[in-house]
């Protein structure tokens, strides 16, 4: 039991770190777009190019602020400011003690983590009577700054060796076909846990990626080209297979929804709505998807196709990264092959093991088609509250792009059969109190409306659905 609790705490901590990394990662496409539009062959506006390069150059600082803020208990602004200050202290001291290191990004990660951990620890630490006036944020801010300064000594000694190891992995191992295959499989398998951002950030600390970031060039050029055929073509092919499968079963095909998911993946590279559609209810499809992703990365590595990525390998990213890549054109015919492969393989798998999405046959559903989910965000949030058992049944809630994580008092009050009618793509019941809804682009909007309704009714909603008494833990 203690080992299981420790594993759960570690997983939850890494998930929170992955969510915190989403903010700096989401800034990369904006920086890339500004930089590309300012180039002489596009708009030839130096101010745009300089603005994009400025964002890239400050990414370590943005990482420090985002991690310190994202891991704070209630999202304290003071903790975010402390993350920025601690990064400046750590990077300046390291540059003085050991000049010439490519260590800004690791300084940003360490400053953010140190600030979050130290501030969280000191907040519950009892102080002597003569220091009671300092109770609050100040002890954590001062102590985290001191620890960051002390980290300079071991970091100056260990970072050159660690950077060589990371560079070896990223530049020599992952650039081989087998290494690219392993990275692709692991990258997709970590998505349900929210840890793929952690993996990408860790392997991105190598010297080649740090230099690419400093010069506003695409990252991970040597081994991520294979993501483009999967995200732009393969996952839309999976949506096509699911649409055909529902047609054969005489179920509502949900063609509009599946088309939206396919376009979201192909154009901007946001794949979570599709992957969570079958990650929980059809794990055999998700495992097949992970293996096909690895195969795509392995093929691109074998053919010498090298196209980096700023954010996620969608059409926008390909347009921005095309000119800097090698053999970029071949991603298109390869992508068409993966569209066909996904459509055929998923169709065969769905025939043998149908996708159990809750829905009645078309004949039974036709009378209910007029009762569609409301388009008004507040009314939609009210409908979700009714399905979830009312405001009194909610204890905590958090959002991550397309997912809404909830902790409820009584899971039996949740009418899960009505979730599909409100536009919920899929969901998973993690335990008797925790529920994860995959809502797509509406997740943040619905979360904000529910919180606004909770404030009006003076109902306190926590921010950490995964935290529960030990008796309720997995």
Residues assigned a catalytic role: 400
Helix (H, G, I), strand (E, B) or coil at 405: strand
Helix (H, G, I), strand (E, B) or coil at 22: helix
Burial class (CB in 10 A: 0-12, 13-18, 19+), 425: buried
Q: d(Cα 317, Cα 416) in Å, to the nearest integer? A: 37
Helix (H, G, I), strand (E, B) or coil at 406: strand
The answer to whether residues 362 and 255 touch, using CB atoms and an 8 Å cutoff, is no
The answer to whether residues 113 and 69 touch, using CB atoms and an 8 Å cutoff, is no
Q: Phi and psi for 124 in degrees, rounded to 5?
A: -100, 10
Distances (CA, A) of 454 to 360, 427, 439, 449: 33, 23, 20, 9
- Residues for the chain: how many in total? 474
Strands 394-400 and 403-408: antiparallel
Q: d(Cα 19, Cα 12) in Å, to the nearest integer? A: 11
Run of H or E including 429: strand 426-429
Q: Phi and psi for 221 in degrees, rounded to 5?
A: -60, -30
Q: d(Cα 322, Cα 307) in Å, to the nearest integer? A: 7
The answer to whether residues 353 and 284 touch, using CB atoms and an 8 Å cutoff, is yes
Q: d(Cα 372, Cα 423) in Å, to the nearest integer? A: 9
DSSP classification of residue 309: B
Q: d(Cα 331, Cα 453) in Å, to the nearest integer? A: 47
Number of neighbouring beta carbons within 10 Å of residue 75: 11
Closest CA to 200 of 154, 237, 169: 169
The answer to whether residues 435 and 414 touch, using CB atoms and an 8 Å cutoff, is yes
Q: What is the CA radius of gyration of the chain?
A: 24
> The sheet that has 426-429: what strands, in order across it?
394-400, 403-408, 434-438, 426-429
């Amino acid at each position: 039991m203690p080992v299981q609790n420790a594993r759960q705490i570690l997983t939850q901590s890494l998930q929170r770190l992955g969510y915190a990394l989403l903010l700096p990662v989401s800034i990369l496409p904006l920086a890339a777009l500004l930089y590309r539009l300012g180039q002489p062959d596009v708009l030839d506006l130096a101010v745009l190019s300089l603005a994009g390069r400025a964002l890239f150059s400050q990414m370590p600082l943005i990482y420090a602020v985002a991690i310190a803020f994202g891991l704070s208990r209630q999202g304290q602004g003071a903790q975010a400011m402390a993350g920025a200050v601690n990064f400046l202290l750590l990077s300046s001291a390291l540059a003085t003690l050991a000049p010439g290191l490519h260590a800004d990004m690791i300084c940003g990660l360490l400053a953010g983590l140190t600030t979050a951990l130290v501030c969280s620890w000191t907040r519950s630490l009892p102080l002597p009577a003569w220091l009671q006036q300092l109770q609050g944020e100040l002890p954590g801010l001062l102590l985290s700054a001191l620890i960051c300064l002390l980290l300079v000594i071991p970091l100056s000694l260990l970072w050159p060796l660690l950077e060589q190891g990371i560079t070896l992995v990223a530049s020599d191992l992952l650039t081989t076909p087998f290494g690219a295959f392993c990275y692709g499989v692991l990258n997709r398998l970590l998505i349900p846990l929210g840890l793929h951002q952690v993996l990408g950030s860790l392997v991105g600390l190598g010297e080649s990626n740090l230099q690419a970031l400093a010069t506003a060039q695409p990252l991970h050029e040597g081994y991520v080209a294979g993501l483009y055929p999967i995200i732009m073509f393969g996952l839309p092919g999976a949506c096509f297979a699911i649409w055909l499968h529902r047609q054969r079963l005489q179920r509502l095909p949900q063609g509009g929804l599946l088309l939206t998911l396919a376009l979201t993946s192909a154009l901007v590279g946001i794949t979570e709505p599709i992957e969570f559609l079958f990650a929980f209810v059809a794990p055999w499809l998700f495992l097949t998807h992970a293996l096909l992703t690895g195969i795509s990365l392995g093929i691109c590595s074998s053919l010498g196709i090298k196209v980096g990525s700023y954010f996620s390998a969608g059409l926008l990213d390909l347009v921005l990264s095309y000119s800097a890549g090698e053999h970029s054109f071949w991603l298109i015919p390869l992508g068409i092959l993966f569209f066909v492969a996904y459509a055929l393989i998923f169709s065969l798998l769905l025939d043998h093991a149908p996708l159990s999405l809750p829905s009645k046959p078309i004949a039974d559903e036709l009378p209910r088609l007029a009762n569609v989910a409301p388009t008004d965000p507040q009314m939609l949030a009210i409908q979700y509250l009714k399905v979830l058992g009312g405001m009194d049944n909610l204890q905590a809630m958090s959002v991550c792009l397309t997912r809404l994580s909830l902790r409820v008092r009584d899971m039996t009050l949740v009418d899960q059969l009505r979730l599909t009618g409100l536009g919920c793509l899929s969901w998973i019941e993690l335990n008797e109190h925790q529920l994860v809804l995959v809502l797509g682009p509406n997740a943040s909007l619905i979360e904000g409306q529910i919180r606004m309704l909770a404030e009006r009714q003076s109902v306190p909603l926590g921010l950490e659905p995964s935290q529960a008494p030990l008796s309720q833990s997995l």
